[in-house]
Amino acid sequence: MISPSGPHSHWVKELNEWLPQASPLIVRGTDWKQIQSIMPRRNPVLITTYASATKYQNLLASIGFKFLVIDESHAIKNRGSSRSQALRRLAFGIPLTLLLSGTPEDNKLLDLWAQMYILDPHKFHDINKFEGEFHILKYNPKTKQMDSKLPHTTRLPGNKFLFQTYNIQGGGQYVIDPPVGRSSSLDCYMIRRLKSQIVDLPPKSRTYNEEPLSAKLKKMYEQFEKETAEEIFADRIEKWAIHVAQRTRLNLAAGIKPQAAFKEAMMHNSELEEKITEGGAGALPYFSKLRRKAAVLRIPMVVNWVRDFYQNRVSPSGSKGKKGDTLLIFAEHHKIINELVESLRMMVDKKGHHLRVESFTGKTNQKQRDKFERQLNSGMLDVLILNKAGNQGLNLQRANYVLFAERYWTPGQEQQAEDRAHRSGQKKNVFVYYFNIPPWTNSQGVYINPIDNRLNDIILRKRADVKAHIGN
């Protein structure tokens, strides 16, 4: 079983309950010396991380496992990554492979294809064919007709479905509805179940809070954008100069005279231009830096929201807080998390008590992780601030307010974060808040649209795409 380290303890708990004879063994880091002598005689189930499976793929392949489970399989969405390649090689040598994910399409359709390729590399070897078939062959098994509306599934050539929405009913016997026939395998590659089919959850709502910056902070943000543009421009000039120099050297080696070699290199920039216009040509790190600077300007917005909530027990959107309500705040950068922790720990509630605040990041060890999860669900924490490391494997259903001090790049990541609270065991309505800075026109008449506003538009469009592909 391969998964992020966070869910390991939950896997052990479930395996011990449902399969006591499994004797699951967790192996991480460098605890691999005696693994071949232990497996599978003493511990038939091995649980490890993506990093360890990638590093020790040859050792794992030599043990002769019969069944491979990849949890949170959207983590292998990039077919070209070393992680994806390692797990693909491992899966090829194991008879049965099962991928588990609540967000199989994290960002775009090709995320789904990378996982399907691991399941059936012969069927899904052609990425362009997969994309074309997916968009064209939308089949509704209820009406047995091609349907232009949201597909129940997608029918592939050869009378097999890409996915099917199933309802697996409990009781004395587990029944799959609709039935899959008497064949030894399902007639699809993916079983989809909606949350509503598994558990009766209270509603979840999203609110987008907009608060304009002061004149001083607007000027500061405009300076941030100007600096970012200058950095991207300088980076592209450097890339262009390197490109020209390399092509000039090739021309000289081919016997072309220096002046002509340089002129020809200056004129042939189509490949570099394509990288700039379509791929951004390395601009992403500069945009990330700009997002971090913009997030610093939003910290007062988040702090004021929390202060108003705990002192007045009413959120800015009108939802009334109650005693014991707990907040989850998601951010991406450690600088933002640290400043939020410092500001919120100084805050007092209506009765004069200081807020109990902790932070959870990739640096949080398993012992601390379990402690924070236990404290939050027992009401001993008011605020837990997390980054992407807290998106998976945490059950924080006591919290029913989720705030995003920073936006993530993909809708799948935000969905994972929201669902730390909106999950089995949640008794209250869940309120999700995103914080945006509205656009403005500066004194020179230039329209300024902050970067997270543009990112928000992209995420909303991607959410619609994911819903159209595989349902909500």
Predicted confidence at residue 330, as pLDDT, reads 92
pLDDT at 284: 83
Tell me the pTM.
0.75
**Integer distance in angstroms from the first to the last C-alpha of the chain?**
27
Please report the pLDDT score of residue 97 as a whole number. Answer: 92
Q: What is the pLDDT of residue 431?
A: 92
Tell me if 327 sits within 8 A of 302, measured CB to CB: no
pLDDT at 340: 93
As given in the structure block, the two tokens for residue 79 are 């077919």
- What is d(CA 203, CA 143) in angstroms, rounded to the nearest whole number? 30
pLDDT score, position 315: 47
Give the orientation angle of helix 451-470 with respect to helix 109-119, to 10 degrees.
Answer: 50
pLDDT at 90: 92
Cα–Cα distance between 357 and 338 in angstroms, integer? 11
CA 315 – CA 302 distance, rounded (Å) = 11
Residue 110 confidence (pLDDT):
82
* Pairing assessment for the beta strands 145-146 and 138-140 based on DSSP bridges: antiparallel
Q: Is the dihedral of CA 304, 306, 308, 314 positive or negative?
A: positive
- The Cβ of residue 406 has, within 10 Å, a number of other Cβ atoms equal to 23
The candidate with the shortest Cα–Cα distance to 193, out of 166, 157, 233, 214, is: 166
pLDDT score recorded for residue 317: 46
**Residue 207 tokens, joined:** 């609110």
Reading phi first (left if > 0) and then psi (alpha if -120 to 50, else beta), residue 445 is in: left
Confidence (pLDDT) at 100: 92
Q: Which residues of the chain have pLDDT under 50?
A: 136-137, 150-151, 184, 314-318
Q: What is the pLDDT of residue 403?
A: 93
